[in-house]
Amino acid sequence: MCRIIAIANQKGGVGKTTTCVNLGIGLARAGKKVLLVEADAQGSMAVSLGIQEPDELDVTLVNIMEKIINDEDVEPREGIIHHEEGIDFIPANIELAAYLMLEAADGKAAFRLEFPKKKK
Protein backbone atom coordinates (compact mmCIF):
# COMPACT_ATOMS: atom_id res chain seq x y z
CA MET A 1 0.00 0.00 0.00
CA CYS A 2 1.22 3.49 -0.82
CA ARG A 3 1.14 6.08 1.94
CA ILE A 4 1.58 9.80 1.40
CA ILE A 5 3.00 11.92 4.22
CA ALA A 6 2.84 15.72 3.74
CA ILE A 7 5.18 17.91 5.74
CA ALA A 8 3.83 21.44 5.46
CA ASN A 9 3.95 24.64 7.44
CA GLN A 10 3.64 28.20 6.18
CA LYS A 11 6.52 29.32 8.38
CA GLY A 12 10.07 28.96 7.11
CA GLY A 13 12.93 27.58 9.18
CA VAL A 14 10.83 25.24 11.31
CA GLY A 15 12.43 21.98 10.15
CA LYS A 16 10.21 20.86 7.24
CA THR A 17 13.07 20.02 4.90
CA THR A 18 15.19 18.45 7.64
CA THR A 19 12.27 16.29 8.79
CA CYS A 20 11.39 15.27 5.25
CA VAL A 21 14.91 14.21 4.26
CA ASN A 22 15.70 12.40 7.52
CA LEU A 23 12.31 10.71 7.80
CA GLY A 24 12.61 9.63 4.16
CA ILE A 25 16.07 8.16 4.56
CA GLY A 26 15.04 6.53 7.85
CA LEU A 27 12.05 4.88 6.19
CA ALA A 28 14.27 3.68 3.32
CA ARG A 29 16.65 2.13 5.86
CA ALA A 30 13.64 0.38 7.39
CA GLY A 31 12.99 -1.22 4.00
CA LYS A 32 10.36 1.13 2.57
CA LYS A 33 10.41 2.46 -0.98
CA VAL A 34 10.52 6.24 -0.62
CA LEU A 35 9.87 9.07 -3.10
CA LEU A 36 10.42 12.56 -1.72
CA VAL A 37 8.60 15.29 -3.66
CA GLU A 38 9.72 18.84 -3.04
CA ALA A 39 7.03 21.50 -3.35
CA ASP A 40 9.13 24.44 -2.15
CA ALA A 41 10.51 26.83 -4.75
CA GLN A 42 13.61 27.44 -2.62
CA GLY A 43 14.88 24.02 -3.64
CA SER A 44 16.45 23.35 -0.24
CA MET A 45 15.62 19.65 -0.33
CA ALA A 46 17.54 19.27 -3.57
CA VAL A 47 20.46 21.19 -2.03
CA SER A 48 20.46 19.01 1.07
CA LEU A 49 20.55 15.95 -1.22
CA GLY A 50 23.64 17.21 -3.02
CA ILE A 51 22.34 19.34 -5.91
CA GLN A 52 24.30 22.56 -5.59
CA GLU A 53 22.35 24.65 -8.12
CA PRO A 54 18.70 23.49 -8.18
CA ASP A 55 17.75 26.46 -10.38
CA GLU A 56 19.84 24.92 -13.16
CA LEU A 57 17.94 21.61 -13.20
CA ASP A 58 16.19 20.82 -16.49
CA VAL A 59 13.36 18.73 -15.06
CA THR A 60 11.60 19.47 -11.78
CA LEU A 61 8.15 19.14 -10.24
CA VAL A 62 6.95 22.01 -12.47
CA ASN A 63 7.55 20.10 -15.70
CA ILE A 64 5.79 17.03 -14.35
CA MET A 65 2.81 19.07 -13.08
CA GLU A 66 2.57 20.91 -16.40
CA LYS A 67 2.44 17.65 -18.33
CA ILE A 68 -0.23 16.19 -16.06
CA ILE A 69 -2.36 19.35 -16.29
CA ASN A 70 -2.02 19.32 -20.08
CA ASP A 71 -2.93 15.60 -20.24
CA GLU A 72 0.49 14.71 -21.66
CA ASP A 73 2.17 11.36 -21.00
CA VAL A 74 4.67 11.19 -18.15
CA GLU A 75 7.26 8.42 -18.24
CA PRO A 76 7.25 6.37 -15.00
CA ARG A 77 10.72 7.59 -13.90
CA GLU A 78 10.61 11.02 -15.50
CA GLY A 79 12.09 13.75 -13.31
CA ILE A 80 12.95 11.27 -10.55
CA ILE A 81 16.51 11.32 -9.21
CA HIS A 82 17.93 8.37 -7.29
CA HIS A 83 20.04 9.13 -4.22
CA GLU A 84 22.73 6.88 -2.82
CA GLU A 85 20.97 6.85 0.58
CA GLY A 86 18.34 4.61 -1.03
CA ILE A 87 15.62 7.17 -1.73
CA ASP A 88 14.24 8.71 -4.91
CA PHE A 89 13.27 12.36 -5.15
CA ILE A 90 11.63 14.91 -7.43
CA PRO A 91 13.25 18.29 -6.88
CA ALA A 92 11.75 21.76 -7.23
CA ASN A 93 13.32 25.12 -7.95
CA ILE A 94 12.48 28.78 -8.50
CA GLU A 95 10.37 27.87 -11.56
CA LEU A 96 7.76 26.57 -9.15
CA ALA A 97 7.19 30.07 -7.71
CA ALA A 98 6.85 31.55 -11.20
CA TYR A 99 4.52 28.75 -12.27
CA LEU A 100 2.20 29.11 -9.28
CA MET A 101 1.96 32.87 -9.91
CA LEU A 102 1.09 32.26 -13.56
CA GLU A 103 -1.54 29.74 -12.60
CA ALA A 104 -3.04 32.16 -10.07
CA ALA A 105 -3.10 34.98 -12.63
CA ASP A 106 -4.78 32.63 -15.07
CA GLY A 107 -7.52 31.76 -12.61
CA LYS A 108 -6.48 28.10 -12.70
CA ALA A 109 -4.82 26.53 -9.71
CA ALA A 110 -2.20 23.82 -10.16
CA PHE A 111 -3.18 22.52 -6.76
CA ARG A 112 -5.17 23.88 -3.92
CA LEU A 113 -4.71 23.51 -0.19
CA GLU A 114 -7.88 23.40 1.82
CA PHE A 115 -7.87 24.02 5.53
CA PRO A 116 -10.63 22.99 7.91
CA LYS A 117 -12.90 25.89 8.87
CA LYS A 118 -12.35 27.31 12.34
CA LYS A 119 -14.87 26.09 14.89
CA LYS A 120 -16.96 28.93 16.34
Ligand X SMILES: Nc1ncnc2c1ncn2[C@@H]1O[C@H](COP(=O)(O)OP(=O)(O)O)[C@@H](O)[C@H]1O
106 with 98: CB under 8 angstroms? Answer: no
Binding at 13: pick from ligand X, Mg ion, none (beta carbon under 5-8 Å per type): ligand X
Binder of residue 14, out of ligand X, Mg ion, none (CB less than 5 to 8 A by kind): ligand X
Distance of closest approach, residue 47 Cβ to ligand X, in angstroms: 9
* Pairwise CA distance, residues 115 & 99, whole Å: 22
Cα R_g (the chain), whole angstroms: 15
Among 36, 38, 44, 62, binds Mg ion (CB under 5 A): 44
The sign one gets for the Cα dihedral 102, 106, 108, 113 is positive
Least distance from Mg ion to the Cβ atom of residue 77, Å: 25
Binding site for Mg ion (CB under 5 A): 16-17, 44
